[in-house]
Structure 1
Amino acid sequence: MPPADTQKAPAKPPAKRRILSLWFPRLGADRVVRQDPQLAGEPLAIVDTIGNAQVISSLSIEAQHKGLYPGQPVRDAHAMCDRLITRARAPLAEARFLAVLRRWAGKFSPWVAEEGQAGLVVDLTGCAHLFGGEAPLMQVVQQDCHDMGLAVQMGLADTRGAAWALARYAGKDAALPRNGDAIDQEARATRSRAGKRHWTRGGAAPEMPVDGPAPGLRIAPPGRTYAALAPLPIAALRLEADTTAQLARLGLRQVGDLVGQPRAALARRFGRGLVYRMDQALGSAPEPVSPAKPADHFATRLTLPDPIGLAEDMLAGIDRLLPPLCARLDAKSRAIRRLRLEAHRTDHGVEAIEIALARPSTDPPHIRPLLELKLDQIDAGFGIDMLRLEALQTEPVYQTRAVGHLDAGKAVADRLAKTTLLDDLLGRLGARVGMEAITRLHPASSHIPEKTSKVMAAAWSKPHDGAWPAPPGPRPVLLWPPEIVQAPETPALPATFRWRGRTHQLVRGSGPERIAPEWWLDAPEWRTGTRDYWRVTVESGEELWLYFAHGGALSAGWFCQGMFA
């Protein structure tokens, strides 16, 4: 018998790399219009503050039709369009919106990354055929963006730099420098000699495009990167503005004009960054697409064979869900700050409760009682067939300093006394009234009575360590904004005065304590000038804190600001 044919089939060549660049030129304005649909059809400008100037960062299509442009000062824009509506830019909100768009673009390829503040880059290698080809895929992108109310420009090429250039500059002509000092005649001769010199001295002959891309065409066929880039402006290479202006003054306004120039001379005059950008756009230098790492998601669920409805049964389910959730968090060196418990009912309804912790924790015995306090808010209905725990907010935890055997007992006692017990109390109170309702006072560095302490959220601040700074004089338990006292406008303590509709007789008083305003701050409540504070006792037994304002920008007089216990 003849031997079997063991020859292997030829290996399939790897797929040609294809990169899609998405640019949202009106991202900021489109985001605001999505939030407030009443602004649709109105000239809208998003204003950003750069230094001491307010400039436009994004415009609606109606504002662009008025002749406005990004980077224009706001005062000039109002002069050109009296109906212009402005909104302050929110960089964090725009970044979150772009992150949402990045997750949406994951339907086309798993390799998606953000590009700048208003762009995405997608590696479509081996993915376009799932949508019927590259052109149908871009039509799907266009339709999705239209449904979301977003303006988008796209570019598709073999390299990331070429796709970026097509998305932003396809169909645009190279602009002349504004100062008019371009040297066209010399540049043409220089380009002719430089192109010939490049290949006659041992280099490869430059590939000159036969037919450039039509205006507006944003798809560069495979292997035609140079032909697509050649007619584009120099700025399409992602160069700095100064470099682009210098090249334009020399008559090099298009990418095709630049490619034929000697590389050594370009690198010597404009730096290696120019040559590196050219190599990236033409595919000589690698520029991979690194997708953003998905955020860590911590959640556990328990599917029940039979519906439950008793609090004891839900606690038993929590006891099975909490330990593995905390173990996963410990493995990532993170701890729970906010936790959500979902109870999925048999009628497809969902009951949920949330708890917040005063300190990040992964200790199940510490978290379980807080969930138990809120279980009565869950309506089981006809039964619960699934429980789910999700860590909505987590924070990193750091290793604590190790102590020896002699100090271990004291360290444990201090930790229990200062943190654990107080955190448990704050957690239980927060489960009832909310963490935002629990505050604490911290000392502040000021001699002004109402500024000697500041109110801080107890769950997001640490207790003051050490003794409370002693004031120079007695301070009342109750302190309120100054209230007018009807008395003679003299610094001497009055024997009789009227306050809150009542006449008071002075029994005794001690003072004065003189307090001057903070001259480096313009506080409206201290425009009455220097104050002399007195602690007085009236016939009703009340101890009040009066002061006489000597007058500054406002007239002098007596005021009451507090009451002693």
Structure 2
Amino acid sequence: MPARRILSLWFPRLATERALRKMRTLPADPLAVVADRGGAQVIASLTVQAEAAGLHRGQPLRDAMAICPDLLTRPADPGGEAAFLAGLARWADRFSPWVATEGDAALVLDITGCAHLFGGEEGMIAAAQADCTALGLSLHAGLADTRGAAWALARFAGRTARHHRSGTTAAPCIAPPGQTRAALAPLPLAALRLDADTVAALARLGVRRIEDLLGMPRAPLARRFGQGVVLRLDQALGAVPEPVSPTRPAPRFAVRLSLPDPIGLEDDILAGIDRLLPVLCDRLRAAGQGARRLRLQAFRCDHGVEQVEIGLARAGDSPARIRPLLALKLAGIDAGPGLDRLRLEAHVTEPLPPRQQPGHAAPPHGAADGDTALDDLIGRIGARVGLEAVTRLAPADSHIPEKAYRVLSAAWSAPVTDWPARGRTRPLILFAPELVNAPDRPGPPARFRWRRRDFVTASATGPERIAPEWWLDDPAWRSGPRDYWRVETTNGARLWLYYAHGGEMSSGWFCQGQFG
């Protein structure tokens, strides 16, 4: 059995070189990617020019600008950089099927038994460096028997660099099989992936290189500096296994239909959707997933792309539920000279629990479930006005009338089957308090004026005193406690009035609701 060999590929300027790739022209000035750490802006990645100007990673931006006033900056994009690194992981599949991301700017490969396909280990690394040079990426490579040793060699072993248009590509550092200890010995302690505090504590004792640790007794070392130091050393030397777990690609649920002749009519597009939807739903069903959002892309003959999206109020895998929503969006597709390709993708999915149909007769394949009528209605309305515009109310834990409910998105919340009993009748219509012209005294007024109309009180029920939430400073409740009355007038109006006792504001009467 061949000896295990691990390759570490480190991209030290990944963020800046990704930013350079997005620019149409290469800037003449130094470039840095800036991240927000602890409320301060610091440099996260640099170009070769920026490093030559005396800047370094972790430096505050204000200090960097004082040293290099011409410095160009771009904000860090962790999500975009992670996606870029995931793309590099797919590229690295050409060298080995065992590829994993490591941190935010490195890959680790188990190349055991693969190097001979590229003319040996040097040939494999040379091929990787050639690819990265063509992509405008800097690469440092380390190869050893263990993952920890490969990581250390890629970052800390001596390098001779050659320049190209966007950075440097370092000469590979390869530890021959069985020579891991000798390759690690001259490297600094940081090469063991220790934290900065531990490295500083060991340096105060004169321990600055890995060779200084190799002959030290393990038990006193672990007692004084923790088990982490011993663990990292054993991992680098191979005493503790550290396997490479390949990154599993995220599942993609997409289908495509190439057309022999261009189409442009809605009926023809619907016919294409009828070909795509069952296949897509079968894939979703096989993976136990349900579509939440779907994207239909229509590719035109003039290389243009028309795109529409729909959302479902409940994740589903039934063509009968998805097709009507797509049909509502087809009017927004400009076919132009014709469409020659359709692509349908469920880009937002959720796990869908298995369903058991009640009774002996199950509905036909592809039919919508009987309990999804409300969700389908929400989906159809959302296809026209947007799912975020369709809301529902849910109870909230507050004694304040206007805070006794919450507004939730109907597509992402379950309906409330039973509201908690409040013990008090509340008005059918609740609105912001409106001033009522009435005598300034606590008892219910015999006559009052509201919304430019005069009212005569026929009966009044109350009072119900509601106090403000003392732990919150709500400007609407600075008038102090309120005495609510259910007032019925001679003309049939049934209003919810309250008397504000004052507090930080003047007292008076207000109307906040109407009963049915």
TM-score normalized by structure 1?
0.70
**How far apart, CA to CA, are the structure 2 residues paired with 1:114 and 1:479?**
55
> Is this contact kept in 2: 1:337–1:358, CA < 8 A?
yes
| Secondary structure of 1:113 counterpart | strand
Q: How far is 1:537 from its partner?
A: 4.9
Mapped pair 1:287 → 2:242: yes
**How far apart, CA to CA, are the structure 2 residues paired with 1:98 and 1:387?**
29
> Is this contact kept in 1: 2:4–2:110, CA < 8 A?
no
Q: Which residue of 1 aligns with 2:213?
A: 258
Change (3 A) 1:279 1:145: farther
Change (3 A) 1:145 1:20: farther
**How far apart, CA to CA, are the structure 1 residues paired with 2:218 and 2:132?**
38
**How far apart, CA to CA, are the structure 2 residues paired with 1:44 and 1:262?**
43
Mapped pair 1:316 → 2:271: yes
Q: How far is 1:270 from its partner?
A: 6.0
Q: How far is 1:328 from its partner?
A: 1.2
> Is this contact kept in 1: 2:13–2:45, CA < 8 A?
no
Q: Which residue of 1 aligns with 2:495?
A: 544
| Secondary structure of 2:152 counterpart | helix
> Is this contact kept in 1: 2:32–2:43, CA < 8 A?
no
User: Residue 239 of structure 1 is aligned with which of 194, 199, 202?
Assistant: 194
Q: Which residue of 2 aligns with 1:160?
A: 147
User: Residue 397 of structure 1 is aligned with which of 330, 340, 352?
Assistant: 352
Q: State, as a whole percentage, how many aligned pairs show the same letter.
A: 50
> Is this contact kept in 1: 2:447–2:457, CA < 8 A?
no
Q: How far is 1:438 from its partner?
A: 1.0
- The one-letter code sitting in structure 2 at the alignment partner of 1:294 is P
Mapped pair 1:455 → 2:443: no
Change (3 A) 1:271 1:374: closer
Q: How far is 1:163 from its partner?
A: 3.5
**How far apart, CA to CA, are the structure 1 residues paired with 2:493 and 2:269?**
55
Mapped pair 1:428 → 2:383: no
Matches within 5 A, 1:119-138: 119-122=106-109, 126=115, 134=125, 137-138=128-129
Deviations for 1:174-216, whole angstroms, at most 9, x for unmatched residues?
xxxxxxxxxxxxxxxxxxxxxxxxxxxxxxxxxxxxxxx7899
| Secondary structure of 1:440 counterpart | strand
> Is this contact kept in 1: 2:35–2:43, CA < 8 A?
yes
Change (3 A) 1:144 1:542: farther
| Secondary structure of 2:5 counterpart | coil
Deviations for 1:26-72, whole angstroms, at most 9, x for unmatched residues?
959998xx89x99x9899864445xxxx5777657689999998599
Q: Which moved more, 1:393-402 or 1:442-451?
A: 393-402
> Is this contact kept in 1: 2:10–2:155, CA < 8 A?
no
**How far apart, CA to CA, are the structure 2 residues paired with 1:483 and 1:355?**
41
Q: How far is 1:436 from its partner?
A: 1.3
Structure 1 unaligned blocks of 5 or more: 1-12, 147-151, 172-212, 410-414
User: Residue 336 of structure 1 is aligned with which of 267, 291, 312?
Assistant: 291
> Is this contact kept in 2: 1:353–1:374, CA < 8 A?
yes
**How far apart, CA to CA, are the structure 2 residues paired with 1:524 and 1:260?**
70
Matches within 5 A, 1:57-68: 59=44
> Is this contact kept in 2: 1:28–1:94, CA < 8 A?
no
Deviations for 1:316-346, whole angstroms, at most 9, x for unmatched residues?
3222222121111111111111122233333
Q: How far is 1:302 from its partner?
A: 2.2
- The one-letter code sitting in structure 1 at the alignment partner of 2:420 is P
| Secondary structure of 2:174 counterpart | coil
> Is this contact kept in 1: 2:189–2:208, CA < 8 A?
yes
Change (3 A) 1:23 1:388: closer
Q: Which residue of 1 aligns with 2:173?
A: 220
Change (3 A) 1:300 1:28: same
Q: Which residue of 2 aligns with 1:187?
A: none
Q: Which moved more, 1:426-435 or 1:531-540?
A: 531-540
Change (3 A) 1:214 1:345: closer
- The one-letter code sitting in structure 1 at the alignment partner of 2:147 is R
> Is this contact kept in 1: 2:143–2:174, CA < 8 A?
yes
- The one-letter code sitting in structure 2 at the alignment partner of 1:531 is R
Mapped pair 1:20 → 2:8: yes
Q: Which residue of 1 aligns with 2:365?
A: none
Q: Which residue of 2 aligns with 1:527?
A: 478
For this pair of structures, how many residues does the alignment match? Answer: 482
| Secondary structure of 2:479 counterpart | coil
Q: How far is 1:220 from its partner?
A: 1.8
- The one-letter code sitting in structure 2 at the alignment partner of 1:299 is A
Change (3 A) 1:20 1:26: closer
Q: Which residue of 2 aligns with 1:103?
A: 87
> Is this contact kept in 2: 1:45–1:56, CA < 8 A?
yes
Change (3 A) 1:69 1:532: farther
Q: Which residue of 1 aligns with 2:165?
A: none
**How far apart, CA to CA, are the structure 2 residues paired with 1:317 and 1:42?**
48
Q: Which moved more, 1:426-435 or 1:258-267?
A: 258-267
| Secondary structure of 1:107 counterpart | helix
- Which structure's residues are more often strand, by fraction? 2
Change (3 A) 1:561 1:23: farther
- The one-letter code sitting in structure 2 at the alignment partner of 1:514 is R
Q: How far is 1:541 from its partner?
A: 5.5
Q: CA RMSD in A?
A: 4.7
Mapped pair 1:379 → 2:334: yes
| Secondary structure of 1:280 counterpart | helix
Q: How far is 1:143 from its partner?
A: 7.6
Mapped pair 1:555 → 2:510: no
- The one-letter code sitting in structure 2 at the alignment partner of 1:443 is P
Q: How far is 1:355 from its partner?
A: 1.8
Q: How far is 1:507 from its partner?
A: 3.5
> Is this contact kept in 1: 2:129–2:139, CA < 8 A?
no
**How far apart, CA to CA, are the structure 2 residues paired with 1:366 and 1:94?**
36
- The one-letter code sitting in structure 2 at the alignment partner of 1:442 is A
Change (3 A) 1:555 1:382: same
Deviations for 1:99-154, whole angstroms, at most 9, x for unmatched residues?
332213533445542223554435576387799774684476478566xxxxx773
User: Residue 261 of structure 2 is aligned with which of 306, 316, 319?
Assistant: 306
Matches within 5 A, 1:464-483: 464-466=416-418, 468-483=419-434
Structure 2 unaligned blocks of 5 or more: 162-167, 363-367
| Secondary structure of 1:379 counterpart | coil
**How far apart, CA to CA, are the structure 2 residues paired with 1:339 and 1:69?**
41
User: Residue 508 of structure 1 is aligned with which of 458, 466, 469?
Assistant: 458
Q: How far is 1:392 from its partner?
A: 1.7
Change (3 A) 1:504 1:121: farther
**How far apart, CA to CA, are the structure 2 residues paired with 1:480 and 1:64?**
65
> Is this contact kept in 2: 1:102–1:112, CA < 8 A?
no
> Is this contact kept in 1: 2:484–2:497, CA < 8 A?
yes
TM-score normalized by structure 2?
0.75
Matches within 5 A, 1:71-86: none
Mapped pair 1:116 → 2:103: yes
Change (3 A) 1:69 1:530: farther
Q: Which residue of 2 aligns with 1:9?
A: none
| Secondary structure of 2:8 counterpart | strand
Change (3 A) 1:373 1:133: closer
- The one-letter code sitting in structure 2 at the alignment partner of 1:478 is I
> Is this contact kept in 1: 2:16–2:33, CA < 8 A?
no
> Is this contact kept in 2: 1:29–1:45, CA < 8 A?
no
- The one-letter code sitting in structure 2 at the alignment partner of 1:239 is L
